[in-house]
Amino acid sequence: MTSGPTAGALAGRPALLGYVDPLSAVETIRHHPGRAMTSDRPSTVPPGIDPDRLAALLDAERARWVQARPRAAALRERARLSQLHGTPQHWISQFPPPIPLVVDRAVGARLYDTDGHEYADFGLAATAALWGHDHPAVVAALRDQLDRGSVTLWAGEDHVAVTEELARRFGLPFWQFTVSASDANRFALLLARVTTGRQKILVFHRAYHGSLEQAGVVLTADGEVAPEPGVDPNGVDVRQTTKVVEFNDLDALERALAPRDVAAVLAEPVLTNGGAVIRPEPGFHAALRDLTRRTGTLLIIDETQTIPAGPGGCTREFGLDPDLITMGKSIAGGVPAGLYGMSGEVAAAAERYTEHGDGGLGSTMAGGPLAVRAMRAVLTEVMTDKNYAHMSRLAARYERDVAAVIAEHGLPWHVGRLGGRVSYAFTPAPPRNAGQLYPRVGSSARQALWLYLANRGVVINAMSGAALMSPMTAESDVELHGALFAEAIGALAAKKGR
Ligand SMILES: Cc1ncc(COP(=O)(O)O)c(C=O)c1O
């Protein structure tokens, strides 16, 4: 049944402090060293949004956030003495709230903060908590394994069960364990170089594949390759290591691969990190595979963020046939872990390469029994057709709610979905590449929306605004989001005729 957001959805929202004096709270924020928190006029306002209303709402929501979180504010001050930016990972300081969300506990698809607020969590740790924070199957597996050892540096029966299942689902015969998706990509790229004897790699503009200097690159306005803004120099001459083209640009891809000096194309099957869900155009994947094969280039598909597409990721959904596959995040249900799978050809080269040493592959903590036990539980009990059906159904509802608000206000925005993942772009049509979405259109609007929702009990991804549905997500939370999104846009949209 299609139903839009209802006022009823708002009835059960968590109670937050009532009246907030924005000015006094703003003053409090101003006295914090570090970021300029307030009254910075929005720099990039998306079409359809009133800049004055946006600036006022942003100030009010920031003030409301700070005013209702004295414990989080105190903890931040303490953290400043021992952490960069006063945050355990530096990027938290770039998220929208003026003081970070301090989580007391994460249960199911909900977060509870240290100041007593409860949130429906659609951010789900940027896919790492995709199954919910404490899926019963994962918790039971971990409890059992804790009594049997967490790291051994030896093989186990669970390891074989996991690699057999991965081979069945994703089609590649040989697999290795890592600690993270970043490591999986690092090792996959190394093996691509070993297999082909070539040095360069190719990534798509604004893709993100983890903390890899060689892949953290962008195309400049002049079409040059450069490290991501802010990380130059990064110790690697990326102009020597990496080529970059826009997603969906097959002509540029063909030109880049023609010299036959690229070891591998590292690609998300659907670009999720470029600011929205950016889908491959019809024929893109077939052409990508054909061009890579014709030029002797390997193809690495990074499924880290696209596992919400289906029980075999996009590889199975789209019938892809890559040489290597990488993943991490959600695959061990919240325990740090990553994996890479490879074809027989790559495995043969890798076996020769590692015959006499480690070759820079591996990590002591990779494939620890705790992580692998959790992976087995995820693969057999959580990544089921039934759970995927629930995630997709709720995501479709979330998408419809957003689309209805966009249509009601005549906003030239687009909302897109990949299985259980939904995100919107400030473009009238589905974006075809990330270049269309940069320089970051609408960052101030994203901040305002994030704060508006979070101040009322809904958390979405703090960087991209994307939402994820877990098997533990409740439909009432999706309904709540729809109602709040409608309210927020009602407060931000330019009045017709202005
Ligand atoms: C597509 C993709 N690959 C790899 C990674 C790296 O994951 P991790 O940070 O867990 O190593 C990310 C992280 O966001 C990602 O989005």
Stated pTM of the model: 0.91
- How far apart (Å, rounded) are the C-alpha atoms in residues 199 and 188? 13
Report whether residue 225 contacts ligand 1, using a CB cutoff of 6 Å: no
CB atoms within 10 A of CB 133: 23
Read off the tokens for 234: 């990064």
364 SS3 class: coil
At residue 13, the pLDDT reads 36
* Torsion angle (degrees, nearest 10) of CA 418, 423, 429, 430: -30
Which domains, from first to last, does the chain contain?
Answer: 8-122+385-492 (3.90.1150.10), 136-382 (3.40.640.10)
Q: Are 470 and 388 in contact (CB under 8 A)?
A: no
At residue 439, the pLDDT reads 67
Q: What is the Cα 146 distance to its own chain's centre? A: 29
CB atoms within 10 A of CB 90: 10
Angle at the Cα of 459 (from 481 to 371), degrees rounded to 5?
125
At residue 436, the pLDDT reads 86
Report whether residue 330 contacts ligand 1, using a CB cutoff of 6 Å: no
What distance in angstroms lies between residue 246's CA and the mean position of ligand 1's atoms? 19
Residue nearest to atom 9 of ligand 1 (CA): 210
State the alpha helices, DSSP H only, in 409-454.
443-454
Spatial CA neighbour of 47 closest among 348, 438, 442, 374: 442
Q: Ligand 1: which atom is nearest the Cα of residue 273?
A: 16
What distance in angstroms lies between residue 168's CA and the mean position of ligand 1's atoms? 23
97 SS3 class: coil
Q: Are 455 and 61 in contact (CB under 8 A)?
A: yes
Give the residue, out of 92, 178, 180, 209, with the most ligand 1 atoms within 8 A of its beta carbon, to mutate for a pocket test. Answer: 209
CB atoms within 10 A of CB 281: 15
- How far apart (Å, rounded) are the C-alpha atoms in residues 217 and 86? 27
242 SS3 class: strand
Cis peptide before 233 (omega within 30 of 0): yes
Q: Ligand 1: which atom is nearest the Cα of residue 182?
A: 11
Report whether residue 273 contacts ligand 1, using a CB cutoff of 6 Å: yes
- How far apart (Å, rounded) are the C-alpha atoms in residues 121 and 136? 17
Paired with 56 in beta bridges are: none
């903590």: which residue's tokens? 365
What distance in angstroms lies between residue 185's CA and the mean position of ligand 1's atoms? 9
């301090």: which residue's tokens? 102
What distance in angstroms lies between residue 231's CA and the mean position of ligand 1's atoms? 17
What distance in angstroms lies between residue 128's CA and the mean position of ligand 1's atoms? 9
Q: Are 404 and 420 in contact (CB under 8 A)?
A: no
Spatial CA neighbour of 364 closest among 152, 148, 147, 142: 152
């409090």: which residue's tokens? 28
CB atoms within 10 A of CB 179: 19
Give the residue, out of 90, 124, 182, with the most ligand 1 atoms within 8 A of its beta carbon, to mutate for a pocket test. Answer: 182
- How far apart (Å, rounded) are the C-alpha atoms in residues 447 and 208? 21
Pairing of the two strands 242-245 and 262-267: unpaired
What distance in angstroms lies between residue 245's CA and the mean position of ligand 1's atoms? 20
Give the residue, out of 92, 270, 273, 304, with the most ligand 1 atoms within 8 A of its beta carbon, to mutate for a pocket test. Answer: 304
Paired with 246 in beta bridges are: none
Report whether residue 180 contacts ligand 1, using a CB cutoff of 6 Å: yes
At residue 356, the pLDDT reads 85
Q: Give pLDDT tens digits for 283-305.
A: 999 999 999 999 999 999 999 99
Q: CA dist 389 to 24, 278, 447, 478, Å?
A: 48, 22, 31, 15
Q: Are 167 and 341 in contact (CB under 8 A)?
A: yes
């994203």: which residue's tokens? 446
Spatial CA neighbour of 166 closest among 348, 308, 365, 315: 315
Question: Could you list the mean pLDDT of each consecutive 10-residue stretch along the chain, which spans 498 residues?
Answer: 38 32 26 30 75 96 98 97 95 93 98 98 97 97 96 96 98 98 98 97 95 90 84 81 97 98 98 89 98 98 97 98 98 97 98 88 95 98 98 98 97 95 92 84 89 98 94 98 98 79
- How far apart (Å, rounded) are the C-alpha atoms in residues 343 and 322? 8
